[in-house]
Amino acid sequence: MNLSEKSILITGGTGSFGKKLTEVLLTSHQPKRLVIFSRDELKQFEMQQVFGEAQYPNIRYFIGDVRDRERLYRAFDGIDVVIHAAALKQVPAAEYNPLEAIRTNVLGAANVIDAAIDRGVERVIALSTDKAANPINLYGATKLCSDKLFVAGNCYAGKHHTRFGVVRYGNVVGSRGSVIPFFLKMRQTGRLPITDARMTRFWITLDQGVDFVLQALRRTVGGEVFVPKIPSMRVIDLARAVAPWCKLDHVGIRPGEKLHEVMITDDDARCTLEFDDYFAIIPRHLDLAGYQAKHGGQPCPEGFRYGSDNNTQWLSVDDLKRIAGIDTEQSEARAA
């Protein structure tokens, strides 16, 4: 897919992922038109200071909410590709405001699907989360529902040619809500709160996330849930990387939080193909053997589960320092 010939729209385009994707698209792909769709005019104004129309005449800023079907229909006019990144993502906020999370994450997804089909959008890639696999909190449950809607959208499209794919990955280094800025702030006190010393998480950078989404855009035939092969890290190792001199306060796992992340459950694994650097969960409307014959991949073994605790790739303390941009010399000097 030649993106220089396409008109692309990013929902939630002023978020961490949206801004990095915008940077990559404008500098490396030069799309015919790039529309930033979001509901916060202040964030759009701030983003315009970096990606202004004077320097990038192909960019447009469109205020709107995925809850608003009519606004989506207007925004999707002439759009070829949609990257759906808009969501309410804070776990505690979703628990306290469940209907708001449902309106954005579930009903908003349905609106995106309807508008994409009726406006003749070619491809839609929706961003998901590890929390959608065996969800234990409302945010994860809404994203699982959203994933199911996007997968089913390929059948719902009928005679239309719109195709929907989903990308699922874990924690993003540098995104809003990342634990690193919190640890950097708290290390000034000499103490870091740790939920559980056994806790593990998947780890991916913004650049890797954007690259994987663009790969999924090219790969999808409609309905796959793409999962990248990424390393795991131990939260206690991250604390050691950020502030090895700090004392650790073990505060316990918070409500709605898992000890380990899972991106492919053992049930999903039965319809999952493994590739060199990613997995693809194949939907029921696509024949697994036929998909494999055409696109490659190997079926996952019986009982397979892709979790942050049984991963084959691990980040060391030094790896975490490098990825997070932590001053190693300063940390070692302070620790001494």
The pLDDT value given to residue 165: 98
Q: Which residues lie below 8 Å from residue 182, measured CB to CB, with a gap of 6+? A: none
β-bridge partners, 59: 34
Query: Token match 């104004």: residue?
Result: 45
Q: Phi and psi of 251, rounded to 5°?
A: -100, -5
Residues 84, 109 contacting (CB under 8 angstroms): yes
pLDDT digits (tens, 9 = 90+) for 270-321: 999 999 999 999 998 899 999 999 999 999 999 999 999 999 999 999 998 8
Range 138-148 average pLDDT: 97
DSSP 101-149: HHIIIIIHHHHHHHHHHHTT-SEEEEE--GGGSS--SHHHHHHHHHHHH
Residues 193, 186 contacting (CB under 8 angstroms): yes
The pLDDT value given to residue 315: 93
Q: Phi and psi of 30, rounded to 5°?
A: 45, 65
Residue 236 has pLDDT above 70, yes or no: yes
Residue 130 has pLDDT above 80, yes or no: yes
* The two structure tokens encoding residue 37: 């769709």
Residue 6 has pLDDT above 60, yes or no: yes
Helices (H), the chain: 16-24, 41-48, 69-75, 91-96, 98-102, 108-118, 138-156, 179-186, 206-219, 235-242, 266-269, 288-295, 317-324, 328-335
pTM: 0.93
pLDDT: is 191 or 8 the higher one? 8
Residue 1 has pLDDT above 90, yes or no: no
Which CATH topology does 3-172+205-229+262-305 take? Rossmann fold (3.40.50)
The pLDDT value given to residue 243: 87
The pLDDT value given to residue 175: 63
The pLDDT value given to residue 323: 78
pLDDT: is 283 or 181 the higher one? 283
**Closest to 275 measured CA to CA, from 224, 319, 236, 237:** 224
pLDDT digits (tens, 9 = 90+) for 81-95: 999 999 999 999 999
Q: How many CB atoms neighbour CB 99 within 10 A?
A: 9
Residue 240 has pLDDT above 80, yes or no: yes
Distance of alpha carbon 223 from alpha carbon 50, whole angstroms: 35
Mean pLDDT estimate for the chain: 92
Range 161-180 average pLDDT: 83
- pLDDT band for 12, please (50, 70, 90 cuts): very high
Range 2-24 average pLDDT: 96
Query: Looking at the annotation, which residues are catalytic?
Result: 131
- Domain residue ranges in the chain: 3-172+205-229+262-305
Q: Which residues lie below 8 Å from residue 214, measured CB to CB, with a gap of 6+? A: 3, 24
Percentage of the chain with pLDDT > 90? 79
Q: Which helix (H) or strand (E) holds 327?
A: none
Residue 328 has pLDDT above 80, yes or no: no
**Closest to 325 measured CA to CA, from 251, 241, 257:** 241
Q: At 268, is the secondary structure helix, strand, or coil?
A: helix
Classify each residue of 46-80 as buried b or exposed e, where b means 16 or more C-beta atoms within 10 Å of its C-beta: ebbeebeeeebebbebbebbbeebebbeebbeebb
Distance of alpha carbon 5 from alpha carbon 12, whole angstroms: 22
